[in-house]
Structure 1
Amino acid sequence: MHLSGAILLFTYVIPPAWALDAYGAAPAGDPSADIPPFVIFAELLVHCVGFHVLVQIPSGLLGTRLGLDHGGLITYASALAIAGVLTAAALLMAPRMGDVGELMQVWADFMVRGSLGLAGYAWATRRSREITKT
């Protein structure tokens, strides 16, 4: 799971669109800005950790368990399906998600970032199973 979390954190090198919009609306020298720029970076970190704990870890573990006797692609696909459902459930509980278009955009952003981390996790678990078999 550390690999998937590290990959997820690395994907935030390219910030999501909402963070870029918020950062542009909060100039560093403006004391009347609603959100200081460092809060935007802190929120990115909270999103990353929250997504990793609420979605990536459970979907990786369940996907690995469901695809245990099957190939790596089945493991990855089941982990992605579980991640999609968990991400949608988490976003529907978020207080500011009223617009369906915004909800789908944020869901797609999380799924792209999470799928890269889950791919790393699926590769690592498959590789560890190959090593233990020999």
Structure 2
Amino acid sequence: MNFPTIPFELAGVDGAGTAPKVILVAGACLVALVAALLIRRLVLFLWAKKVIAVGNVSRKWVIPEHREWQAKAYVKVPAKNMIEVCVENRTLEFAPIDWKYDRVSEGDQIEVALQRARLGEEIRIVDIGPF
């Protein structure tokens, strides 16, 4: 079975079999892209050490309960508590557990556990104090 994979080869073969082959090549490219992004994410943060820093809580808010389309049905998504923390001249959002959310207020200085990416300047919040 001769399976052309280059788009120039696809244009040269009969038109009846071209569309499924183009869809197959596009699907393979999409799977390769998703795999590459997943591997990149793992390489950036896997085995990265946690660093404790001090940050300021600049804002607290609640994302209200809502319904959103997931898979084949609408699903009720519960309310989520969010805080915005300014740490190392960056503003990061984090969804802490309820008792930690209740202990902080806007303007407080808190300890923040961060993970720095191995490549680039990306950082993310792992947890907020008390640890």
TM-score normalised over the length of structure 2: 0.31
> If each structure's strand is expressed as a fraction of its own residues, which one has the higher value?
2
Please say which structure displays the higher CA radius of gyration: 2
Q: Name whichever structure is richer in helix by fraction.
A: 1
Q: Which of the pair has the greater relative contact order for Cα pairs under 8 Å at 6+ separation?
A: 1
Give the alignment's TM-score, normalised by structure 1.
Answer: 0.31
